[in-house]
Amino acid sequence: MIIALIVGFIMACNTATDDTKTASNEQVKYSTVELNVEGMTCTGCENTIKNSLMKVAGIDSVNADHTNGRTFIKFDSTSVKVADIQKVIEEKGYTVAENPQQ
């Protein structure tokens, strides 16, 4: 019984290690950008921006805050450009301020 538990534990550890290796071999380069977004007035605006951006392949996370007008986006810079992100936001009726921090 103890031997079966030890073997099961070792097999589980090896599986986790293999998954980690597979994930680390992917060619993903994450970048983060902070954009000043004008026109957000409520949490509904935040959700509109977040939901729209999360539909874009390569975007990992979005945090929009209407109280300070900032939106933080973590994305795969090998598949998404900042200009693409700005376009999605502007298509929803918001304005991205000049000179975003990258």
Exposure letters 60-82 (e unless 16+ CB within 10 A, then b): eebebebeebbbebebbeeebeb
- Per the model's pLDDT, the better-predicted residue between 72 and 98 turns out to be 72
Mean pLDDT across the stretch 34-40? 97
37 CB neighbour count, 10 Å cutoff: 25
Question: 30-96 — its CATH code?
Answer: 3.30.70.100
Domain limits of the chain? 30-96
pLDDT tens per residue across span 39-92: 999 999 999 999 999 999 999 999 999 999 999 999 999 999 999 999 999 999
